[in-house]
Amino acid sequence: MVLFALGLFGLTALAEEQQPVTAANASSTDYILQPSDLIRVMVFQEPDLLREVRITQEYTITLPLIGTIDVRNKTVRQTEDIIRDLYDKDYLVNPQINLTVLEYTQRTVKVMGAVNQPGAIVFPPEQKMGLLEAIARAGGFSRIADRKRVKLSRTLEGGKTENYTINTDDMIQGNSGDQWLLTKGDVVFIPERIL
């Protein structure tokens, strides 16, 4: 009986270790700041340094005394650390920084073609959205959709566009391990089958 209980405990511990981190588990400090996000920067016991600023399209913010800060590819926590270090360097002793996202930029992808409700799909700022979820939010495939030739068009930072053709039937049947996580501005087109 003791061996059975230990074995059961070991399986439970193994199952807990292998649970994936979901978007619901992600804390707001892991959110990567985006252009047009509105943030509040508070410095403990320094009310004159309180600022609400919108992140520019160049991924920068400007704060009193320390000037312009690049927040490209930075999380909330990383940005707090950068601001703390800059104030600590020349102006304050051991400053405590609190950064809060007041307003998230709206992230959308377009789903067009043979779906039941084509259009822009908004996804929550702190969550990731896969290709199949976006199609589901667009009402799902229409009955004439060609699920084996779904097109994904993605514009990269330098302005270059990459195009992919994806067999979503493989994804639905579990034959493909790739979820095709979408990014802001992606365009998904579902062609019609030739009958």
pLDDT (0 to 100) of residue 107: 84
For residue 132, give Cα distances in angstroms to 87, 118, 182, 195. Answer: 45, 14, 10, 24
Question: In sequence order, what are the residues at sequence separation of 6 or more whose Cβ sits closer than 8 angstroms to the Cβ of residue 64?
Answer: 48, 49, 51
Asked whether residue 42 carries a pLDDT value surpassing 80, the answer given is yes
Residues of the chain with CATH 3.30.1950.10: 28-103
pLDDT in tens, 58-113: 999 999 999 999 999 999 999 999 999 999 998 999 999 999 999 888 888 999 99
Which residue intervals of 125-182 are DSSP H helices?
Answer: 131-137, 168-172
Asked whether residue 16 carries a pLDDT value surpassing 60, the answer given is no
pLDDT in tens, 163-172: 999 999 888 8
pLDDT (0 to 100) of residue 19: 30
pLDDT (0 to 100) of residue 165: 93
pLDDT (0 to 100) of residue 188: 95
Distance CA 116, CA 119 (A): 10
Name the residue among 142, 176, 123 with its Cα closest to residue 165. 176
Residues of the chain with CATH 3.10.560.10: 107-190
For residue 3, give Cα distances in angstroms to 6, 7, 9, 10, 64. Answer: 5, 6, 10, 10, 63
Fold classification of 107-190 (topology level): Outer membrane lipoprotein wza fold like (3.10.560)
Would you give the DSSP letter of residue 47?
G
Comparing 189 with 2, the larger pLDDT belongs to 189
Structure tokens at 164: 């992919």
Distance CA 49, CA 60 (A): 17
pTM: 0.61
pLDDT (0 to 100) of residue 29: 56
What number does CATH give the domain 28-103?
3.30.1950.10
Comparing 3 with 93, the larger pLDDT belongs to 93
Q: Are 84 and 95 in contact (CB under 8 A)?
A: yes
Most confident of 24-28, 32-36, 71-75: 71-75
Q: Output the CA torsion sign for 45, 50, 55, 59.
A: negative
pLDDT in tens, 152-192: 999 887 788 999 999 998 888 887 777 788 888 899 999 99
